[in-house]
Amino acid sequence: MQMSSTINEAALGGRFTFPGTSLTVNRIGYGAMQLAGPGVWGPPKDQDAAIAVLREAVATGVNHIDTSDFYGPHITNQIIRQALHPYPAGLVIVTKLGSRRPADKSWQPAITPEELTAGVHDNLRNLGLDTLEIVNYRTMGAIHGPKEGPIGEQIKVLANLKRQGLIRHIGVSNVTAAQVAEAQAITDVVCVQNNYNLAHRHDDALIDDLARQGIPYVPFFPLGGFTRLQSSTLSAVADRLAVTPMQVALAWLLHRSPNILLIPGTSSLAHLRENLAAGQLRLSKQTLAELDGIAATTAAPANH
């Protein structure tokens, strides 16, 4: 599998280097969660289509893929391996630990030393790797949001696995600023992944602090939790620009801070192409101001 050598990096939002590493990625990456079946469980309806999405993403210049072995479980990583292995030089695969998927399809914490170690080996086996480039410890927290509480014991386990050579770099996900600081007191943290978008800007201060440290912030759920009024404002901007609401939401995130890396997910080639095209969308100061006002509006929640 070859990556494009001619892709214009500006088309994918520019580039960013993970701190203390030689890992440089285009700012628009790909999130692999949706490659599994409904409810992130079992195989996809069309595995050939899932493979095609991955291959086109990489051929177009995507060199940052976010995944986890608890997607499926195991299925998503197996599809990535089938589609892309042997992996092209420069491709950064970021995985995460902290959950397990029992037979009832629920999401349960997997945070003991034994569970975290087993999770690393599951990821290595199903991705076909000897070392995981970046592993995020994801707290269970609240629904789609972090909850204060100690994470030091789990980070120490990952730091030990790093010393063993099974992990090269460590990140954190679904965390508070205090938890980021706790992790940094134990090991170098190369990325933070949280729920953040136009409507949910609780991490504004954290993003700015990470930017000062040269640490990337990777938001998930770019359209999650919008109210009807917020959705209508976003749609009006998208209509005016003749693009989709998702493209506007992604472009706003790229404008928000240069340390933001995107991992929009899809199992559709058409949606993949739309997501990648967001890197070429330029937003005027007036449009940015209009979008910045979305977080201040409140109304009844809409479903996304």
Which residues have a catalytic role annotated?
71
- 185's CB contacts (< 8 A; 6+ apart) are 152
258 prior amide bond cis, ω within 30: no
- The answer to whether the CB of 192 falls within 8 A of the CB of 175 is yes
* DSSP structure class, residue 22: S
Structure tokens at 244: 């989709």
CA dist 277 → 2, 227, 280 (Å): 21, 25, 6
- The answer to whether the CB of 31 falls within 8 A of the CB of 265 is yes
Degrees to nearest 5, angle at CA 223 with 241 and 303? 115
- The answer to whether the CB of 227 falls within 8 A of the CB of 199 is yes
Count the alpha carbons within 13 Å of 288 in the hemisphere toward its beta carbon.
Answer: 12
Count the alpha carbons within 13 Å of 207 in the hemisphere toward its beta carbon.
Answer: 22
Structure tokens at 44: 């996809």
User: What Rg do the C-alpha atoms of the chain give, in angstroms?
Assistant: 18
Kindly report the number of other CB atoms within 10 A of residue 202's CB atom: 13
- The answer to whether the CB of 34 falls within 8 A of the CB of 252 is no
Helix (H, G, I), strand (E, B) or coil at 85: coil
